[in-house]
Structure 1
């Protein structure tokens, strides 16, 4: 399945885009730090916590127990075999639980009422993929945060790249992100239901009719909930404009003289450098490539194609490529104004207290992502928020 980028990739991409060098931590980051899960959800019943990821010291994939001890996954099989039970008892409503998280690049899952089902293949862990109607976690209410804890500190986010579901926020030190506005949970789903063009089809419900989540539009295309042509009108207008004019991309905030120039020729947008040499080319993207920032908008971890691609991806999702021929456009007032844009991302951002979200993979262009970090972390917090 297609999954969210790991946080170490996010952190690296953010630093590259901003032209920021991450300074060494002032003091050695401990092997584990406490993560407190606070349950303000208002929901009764059990909560289960999972800390899954890659051990940055060994490169092994596995899980951490409540004390931060690492356990490598055993060998999987084909068909997939059940994974060991990595669940940690979470807090009841109104309570809190503190676990220790090790130097990982991974995810902290939480589920309400039921444990999640994880299996192992010969290639490793099979994570929940609820766009698949046969996924065993399809009818479980759950969500996750991504984090990286390493020798340079912690990066932890509130992500909606794959789905919008159970609300939560993350904090390190005095920095917090991810809280919804009052009424924001219901407000998001009502707004999505009212958006013409099939966007309401992203919503998944439980057998009793209660809302579980909204799939990201990329996963919606996988399921047939959204057509892969949902962005075509906007792409066609971009193609028409830049067939006769130039799109200028300045991908690094601290390198204003590093510019790339895009012009459309047929089905390809070619980018040249200041010397007039073609450095990379992009085919006309479909909606799946735009929403996933992959495939025809692939972004390798380099200093040319990747930074150009992430800028284009943000411009397509936010529909700013026609508001300005100089990208990235970092004026939030320009975002999502066009009727053809990533309406899922638009409605998530509109409901966030700080306006920040990880509603698509490169929502960090211009620092509009819901990410907090600390170079010398003493602790972190995940708050399970109310649904109303």
Structure 2
């Protein structure tokens, strides 16, 4: 089991400098609460239509009468503790639904309650022992779906929303969430009405229990695989974050969440950690942004839009970076803008033209990877991955995630697919219009 006590983590992280071992935990500690401690946000709510005042279950034979049939094999490579899986999403009527291990369906209901109501009907799929697997036949098409895995029992709730029923899912950054002390994670899944599959592993928000995937097909195109992170990656990432905190004094290690016993349960991205501590990295990027603005006041920045618009020249005038053909300019981004790539100057608005929509991801990626002041950084994207995260300030969470990925697959920030033409593929997505079996490995990737 990839757990370690706080003391072990610290010793491993600063073995070369024992005097740097702090006397208190550098990690944030989860303190699970109850219903009153749930924070409902767009991030942890799946909005569905209202279907009934009570929870409805459909037996496997009834469920299989509907369109769709996708076998999902769940492989237990986890070395400690009982692992449970949960398959949730929206059906074709946009109703919240869970698929149980026997292929039957559960449609949970809030009963009209504006206060979150726990789902009491069994929805967990207990995985067999390490080294064994179970296959669940998903009998319906399903969208906005997730396949959750946890060591222990995750808690899900239903709540009345203005236009229906909402599923309240575990929150990765609420330290008082009822599931906050558990090791958990998920893969994203869509199974379309055309019976196509799209499944994705992402580390944009956090790293939790280690998950990998493969997708076999029926059209002769072969098997696709995303291995993602290695089995010890959570420990390794948090050791790296402890080391980074000792180098620059920023609270990188606090992005790691441990339970009350000192066991690591997840590592948050800087953007997600800012929900817990908004001031922690508030000024982290300030000097770098000032240097970028100063440099590109006298030097042109070329953005290869990788579209029919080709390359466009950009330059700072006053306090704004302006790009040729772009419908509006870019103010200096804050730390929050850089972590999320979707706010401030990086928010794409209705009415923005194609040039703007192409510049935003490429400009933000250049900030996240700290390549704008490197030799050759005046062309974006132009430098390859060997140049990413090589200077500070940078996104050290993203750096460490990619360091411990086995196959380089799995986004570590929203625009991780921005790369020079023809180079690299950080996507953790598997997709096919002719799926056979989707296999998810928990605890360690396939050999």
| Category of TM-score, reference length = shorter chain | 0.7 to 0.9
**Contact map agreement 1:310 1:362 (CA 8 A) in 2:** yes
Aligned residue number for residue 229 of structure 1:
283
| Partner Cα distance (1:311, 1:77) in 2 | 44
- After TM superposition, the structure 1 = structure 2 runs for residues 214-225 of structure 1, keeping only pairs within 5 Å, are 214-224=267-277
Find the aligned partners of 2:318 and 2:115 in 1 and give their Cα distance.
45
Q: Computing the radius of gyration over CA atoms, which structure comes out larger, 1 or 2?
A: 2
Distance in structure 2 (CA, Å) of the matches to 1:67 and 1:251: 48
Between the aligned partners of 2:124 and 2:365, the Cα distance in structure 1 is 36
**In structure 2, distance between residues paired with 1:315 and 1:134:** 35
Deviates more, 1:179-188 or 1:110-119: 179-188
Please, what is the CA RMSD of the aligned residues? 2.7
SS at match of 2:407: coil
TM-score, reference length from structure 2: 0.72
Deviates more, 1:144-153 or 1:103-112: 144-153
Deviations 1:158-187 (A, max 9, x none): 221111111111111222113434743432
Structure 2 residue 97 is matched with structure 1 residue 62: yes
Distance 1:145 1:88, change over 3 A: same
> How big is the shift at 1:347?
0.2
Shift of the alpha carbon at 1:291? 1.2
Closer, same or farther: CA 300–354 of 1 in aligned 2, 3 Å? farther
Quick one: structure 1 residues 300 and 376, their matched pair in 2 at CA, closer, same or farther if it must change by over 3 Å?
farther
Mean Cα displacement is larger for which, 165-174 or 320-329? 320-329
Counterparts of 2:302 and 2:322 in 1: how far apart (Å)?
12
Residues in 2 aligned to 1:248 and 1:205: alpha-carbon distance in whole angstroms: 44
Per the TM alignment, residue 73 of structure 1 is displaced from its structure 2 partner at its CA by: 4.7
Cα contact 1:355–1:368 (8 A) shared by 2: yes
Q: Which residue of 2 aligns with 1:20?
A: none
Counterpart of 2:187 (choices 123, 145, 154) is: 145
Is 1:32–1:68's contact at 8 Å kept on the other side of the alignment? no
Equivalences for residues 301-316 of structure 1 within 5 A: 303-316=354-367
Residue correspondence of structure 1 range 102-117 to structure 2 within 5 A: 102-117=141-156
Give the TM-score, by structure 1 length: 0.83
SS in 1 for 2:135: strand
Hey, what does 1:49 align to over in structure 2? Answer: 85
Residues 59, 325 of structure 1: CA spacing in aligned structure 2 closer, same or farther, 3 A cutoff? Answer: farther
Tell me, yes or no, if structure 1 residue 129 matches structure 2 residue 171. Answer: yes
After the TM superposition, which of the residue ranges 330-339 and 294-303 deviates more from structure 2? 294-303
Residue number in structure 1 paired with 2:330:
282
In the TM superposition, residue 300 of structure 1 has moved relative to its aligned partner by: 5.4
How many angstroms apart in 1 are the aligned matches of 2:416 and 2:269? 13
How many residues align? The count is 356
Kept after mapping to 1: 8 A contact 2:108/2:158: no
1:212-238 CA deviation, whole Å, 9 max, x = no partner?
Answer: 111111111121173222222322222
What SS does structure 2 have at the residue aligned with 1:143?
A: strand
Residue 209 (structure 1) aligns with: 262
The answer (yes or no) to whether the contact 1:228–1:287 under 8 Å persists in 2 is: yes
1:58 CA drift (Å): 3.1
Aligned residue for 2:327, secondary structure, equals strand
Equivalent residue, structure 1, for 2:322? 270
Match of 1:261 among 306, 313, 321: 313
Query: Which residue number corresponds to residue 243 of structure 1?
Result: 297
Between the aligned partners of 2:324 and 2:364, the Cα distance in structure 1 is 18
Native 8 Å contact 1:83 1:118 kept in 2: yes
Instruction: Give the one of 186, 202, 206 matched to 2:235.
Output: 186
How far apart are the structure 2 equivalents of 1:118 and 1:100?
Answer: 24
| Structure 1 runs not aligned, ≥5 long | 7-29
How far has the Cα of 1:67 moved from its partner?
A: 5.3
CA distance in 2, matches of 1:304, 1:3: 29
Is the contact made by 1:318 and 1:336 (CA closer than 8 Å) also made in structure 2? yes
Q: Which of 154, 164, 172 pairs up with 2:197?
A: 154
Distance in 1 (CA, whole Å) between partners of 2:209 and 2:136 is 20
2:385 paired residue number: 332
In the other structure, the counterpart of 1:169 is 212
CA distance 1:349–1:2, change in 2 (3 Å): farther
For the Cα contact (< 8 Å) 1:250–1:327, is it kept in 2? yes
Give, in whole Å, the separation in 1 of the partners of 2:355 and 2:402.
29
Separation in structure 2 between the aligned mates of residue 215 and residue 111 of structure 1, nearest angstrom: 17
Map of 2:343 onto structure 1? 295
Cα-to-partner distance string for 1:240-294 (whole Å, 9 max, x where unaligned): 2222222222233xx3643333322333323321xxxx41323211111211121
Q: Offset of 1:365 from its aligned partner?
A: 2.2
Of residues 435, 438, 442, the one that matches 1:377 is: 435
